[in-house]
Amino acid sequence: MEMFEVVDSRLPPGWLFTSYPNSDFLQAIWGYGELVMDEFHYDALLEREENALMIFSSRVA
C-alpha cells in the first residue's frame, strides 16, 4: 500500500543520518549536525527550549 509519493528524495547538503536500532521510540534521524550528533538536542526541541529552537531555525532556514 503506497501512502504517499516522494517527489524529491534529495537531502540538503551537510545533513547527516543516524539510526537507533535498540530504541523503542526513535528508529532513525536525518538532519542537521546538532540534531543527529547531540543526544540532547532532539529532546530540547521537543521541550521548545529557546537555544534549540534558535539552532533549528538557523539550520533549516
Q: Which three cell numbers stand for residue 21?
A: 536500532
- Average pLDDT on 36-55 reads 96
By DSSP bridging, strand 28-31 and strand 16-19 are antiparallel
State the average pLDDT over residues 26-38: 95
C-beta separation of 41 from 18 below 8 A:
no
21-25, 30-34, 41-45, 50-54: which has the minimum mean pLDDT? 21-25
Read off the pTM.
Answer: 0.77
Q: pLDDT band at residue 58, thresholds of 50, 70 and 90?
A: very high
Phi then psi for residue 16, to 5 deg, are -120, 175
Helices marked H in the chain — which ranges? 33-37, 41-46, 50-60
CA 58, distance to chain mean position in Å, is 14
Q: What pLDDT does residue 40 have?
A: 95
Of residues 61 and 5, which shows the higher confidence score? 5
Domain boundaries, the chain: 16-60
